[in-house]
Structure 1
Amino acid sequence: MTDPNLTYLGPIPKALTYDKKPRPWWKRVPLAFVIVVVVPTVLTVVYYLLIASPRYVSETMFIVRAANASQPSSLGFALEGVGLGTTQSDAFAVHKYVNSRDAFQDVSRQFDIAKVLAPAGSDAFSRFPRPWEKRTNEGYFKGFQRFVDIGYDSSTGITTLRVEAFTPREARGMTEALLVGSESLINRMNERAAADAIKEATDARDRARQRLSEAQQQLTGFRNREQFIDPETTATESTRLIGGLLSTVAQLKAERAQVMSEAPSSPQLPIINSRIAAYEGQIARERAKIAGDTGSLAPKLSAYEDLSLNREFADRELTAATAALTNAEAEARRQKLYLDRIVAPSLPDEASEPRRLVSILTVLISTLLAYGLGWFIWAGAREHRQD
């Protein structure tokens, strides 16, 4: 027996139907999307468009160079990073100063840092201290670093210094203070380098001058003691005198030989012999003065030559030390460092920070990427569980 099939061809009663109304669009948005994307973006928009305080940026550009230095190549900049020193280490010394506590103290002497970093009306996330920061010296130093940025272009050797502040004049004033402090640092480096090199050369010259003075005093004392100026001149004069006496003796001997050949019993022979004996005695005495005993001229001449040689060496040493000092001074001038301003600290007339649109787009894109990545991970995990 089969069940009967009933076919109804009329309209369907309303009681048998259910009209489902579409859900509003805001209810169709996933809660995760609202939490991950919408809420952070809205908060960012509210902060940057309604709350964030404008900040002004003063910029300056300068170069640190030596008088004979050429600008570095990109390879030279790379070698600097691995410890192979170049002349650009002087520029990096300035960079370290700008980010140091010395620079912070130099600026603090000219500005009230507490008011500069937290003026009236500034928002809690731009000023110092922020809600999670403390009012300590270390905190102020780190807060100050947040407002200062310094960069280096390896292709040109130009350093760019940017300082933020809540007013244009404070931005330019702090930039000028950091620039003046950097120039003072370069001057101190020049003074130390020149002082070290020149001091060593000056000390060597003074020692050489002292040795020359002592040698001259010893030579003067010898002359006063021995009562003659130059033993060499005295010896020369004695030698000439002996030479003249020998010449006279030779003439007298020749005359005696002639007289003896002509008149052996001539009464002139005793006279000639007496003169020859007198001259020969004088020659012996003169030779004894030059050499022969401790009172002769030879030992004195030896001592004089030693003293004279010492003075000559001292004089040469002084000449060399003076030339070295002159070279050291010239080298110090040649290697002197200069901080040349290329662009003076600017006085901004428009706030360039914060970059509101860029910041909002950055948050939006970042949250979208995070949400998309999370959605793909969740979808993959759900499909894995269904399998």
Structure 2
Amino acid sequence: MVNVYSDSSTGLIEVKVQAFAPEDARAIVRAIYAESAQLIHELSAIAREDATQHAEENLARAAQRLKETRLTLAEFRMRNQLVSPDTPLQIQTGLLASLEAEMTETLISIDMLQQTSTPTDPRLKQAQRRRDIIAARISQEHQKLTAEQGAMHSIGFADLFGQFESLKVDLEFAEQSYTASQAAFDTAVAEARKKSKYLAAYIPPTLAETSIYPNRPFLLGVTFASSFALWALIMLVWHSLRDRH
């Protein structure tokens, strides 16, 4: 026989089991505790899954969008053989700026040598040779830059740059969306864990030391009293019938 007592004010549940042997009673209580703990665990898992399902779905969509955006940008770079549309022009412009700076230094050196040396000075000839080489290199780099600009414009540089910028914006948005979804998922998981319920035994199942049931003295007293009352009733009826006769 199992009796369950629940205290709504404290949330405590007390279970008492009566059996023919102390070991049987304790085994029944342990089985009840194990089944109850498993049930509460399953209910908490279901509640936690329901609370985080929406956030998890948003995170999965954001991750898929980020993956697709990165793949699209990589395909764009591979198809056009560039990291950024303006990178080749920037490199070429930087090289030209460096050559022009060297040309300026060389011209200054030539002017100083012309003022302090003779026309047959080897240093002056070497500086002039350096000037001619740098001038030729500048001319070649100008031709390359013009050719690259023409090639860029021939394939629609404005459209190419616009597509690249659009993909970069999509990538930034996808990264921000993924970060926000990840934060929302972590928050949902933390909140769900706070609401999880657990079953803990404040008094573990114990083994009865003495048997209190059945209460033999009480039962003997009740049996004796009932028998006496029945005997008195029978005697009363018997004497009543005898007096009538």
CA contact (8 A) 1:290 1:298 kept: no
Q: Which residue of 2 aligns with 1:312?
A: 172
- The CA distance in 2 between the partners of 1:227 and 1:174, in whole Å, is 74
Paired residue for 1:171, among 25, 39, 43? 25
When the two structures are aligned, how many residues end up with a matched partner? 181
How far has the Cα of 1:201 moved from its partner?
A: 3.4
Given the superposition, is the C-alpha separation of residues 227 and 287 from structure 1 closer, same or farther in structure 2, using an over 3 Å criterion? closer
How far has the Cα of 1:154 moved from its partner?
A: 2.6
TM-score normalised to the size of structure 1? 0.39
- The CA distance in 2 between the partners of 1:353 and 1:319, in whole Å, is 68
Q: Which residue of 1 aligns with 2:211?
A: 350
CA contact (8 A) 1:235 1:290 kept: no
What is the identity, as a one-letter code, of the residue corresponding to 2:27? G
Q: Which residue of 1 aligns with 2:185?
A: 325
Aligned with 1:152: secondary structure? strand
Aligned with 1:181: secondary structure? helix
Aligned with 1:342: secondary structure? coil
- The CA distance in 2 between the partners of 1:288 and 1:354, in whole Å, is 107
Given the superposition, is the C-alpha separation of residues 190 and 301 from structure 1 closer, same or farther in structure 2, using an over 3 Å criterion? same
Deviations 1:41-95 (A, max 9, x none): xxxxxxxxxxxxxxxxxxxxxxxxxxxxxxxxxxxxxxxxxxxxxxxxxxxxxxx
- The CA distance in 2 between the partners of 1:192 and 1:289, in whole Å, is 64
Q: Which residue of 2 aligns with 1:162?
A: 16
Alignment of 1:218 onto 2:110: no
- The CA distance in 2 between the partners of 1:234 and 1:288, in whole Å, is 9
How far has the Cα of 1:236 moved from its partner?
A: 4.9
Paired residue for 2:38, among 165, 172, 184? 184
Aligned with 1:338: secondary structure? coil
Aligned with 1:339: secondary structure? coil
Aligned with 1:337: secondary structure? coil
- The CA distance in 2 between the partners of 1:298 and 1:238, in whole Å, is 19
CA contact (8 A) 1:289 1:296 kept: no
Deviations 1:290-318 (A, max 9, x none): 98x56232111100011111111111122
- The CA distance in 2 between the partners of 1:299 and 1:312, in whole Å, is 20
Q: Which residue of 1 aligns with 2:61?
A: 207
- The CA distance in 1 between the partners of 2:94 and 2:207, in whole Å, is 91
Provide structure 1 residue ranges, at least 5 long, that are not aligned to the other structure.
1-146, 245-277, 365-387
What is the identity, as a one-letter code, of the residue corresponding to 2:39? L
Greater helix share, 1 or 2?
2
Given the superposition, is the C-alpha separation of residues 352 and 239 from structure 1 closer, same or farther in structure 2, using an over 3 Å criterion? farther
Provide structure 2 residue ranges, at least 5 long, that are not aligned to the other structure.
99-138, 227-245
Deviations 1:75-129 (A, max 9, x none): xxxxxxxxxxxxxxxxxxxxxxxxxxxxxxxxxxxxxxxxxxxxxxxxxxxxxxx
CA contact (8 A) 1:219 1:307 kept: yes
Deviations 1:9-62 (A, max 9, x none): xxxxxxxxxxxxxxxxxxxxxxxxxxxxxxxxxxxxxxxxxxxxxxxxxxxxxx
Superposition pairs of residues 138-287 of structure 1, within 5 angstroms: 147-234=1-88, 236=90, 285=146
Report % sequence identity: 32
CA contact (8 A) 2:89 2:148 kept: no
- The CA distance in 2 between the partners of 1:287 and 1:191, in whole Å, is 62
- The CA distance in 2 between the partners of 1:193 and 1:155, in whole Å, is 24
How far has the Cα of 1:287 moved from its partner?
A: 10
Given the superposition, is the C-alpha separation of residues 218 and 185 from structure 1 closer, same or farther in structure 2, using an over 3 Å criterion? same
CA RMSD of aligned residues (A): 3.8
How far has the Cα of 1:241 moved from its partner?
A: 8.6
Deviations 1:124-178 (A, max 9, x none): xxxxxxxxxxxxxxxxxxxxxxx22212113322111112222222222111111
- The CA distance in 1 between the partners of 2:4 and 2:187, in whole Å, is 37
Aligned with 2:199: secondary structure? strand
CA contact (8 A) 1:204 1:321 kept: yes
Larger radius of gyration: 1
CA contact (8 A) 1:238 1:290 kept: no
Aligned with 1:165: secondary structure? coil
Deviations 1:305-360 (A, max 9, x none): 11111111111122222223322332233222111111112322222456948x96
What is the identity, as a one-letter code, of the residue corresponding to 1:333? R
What is the identity, as a one-letter code, of the residue corresponding to 1:351? I
Of 331-340 and 346-355, deviating more is 346-355
Q: Which runs of 4 or more aligned residues in structure 1 lie more than 6 Å from their structure 2 counterparts after TM superposition?
A: 238-244
Deviations 1:189-230 (A, max 9, x none): 222223334444333323222211111111111111222111
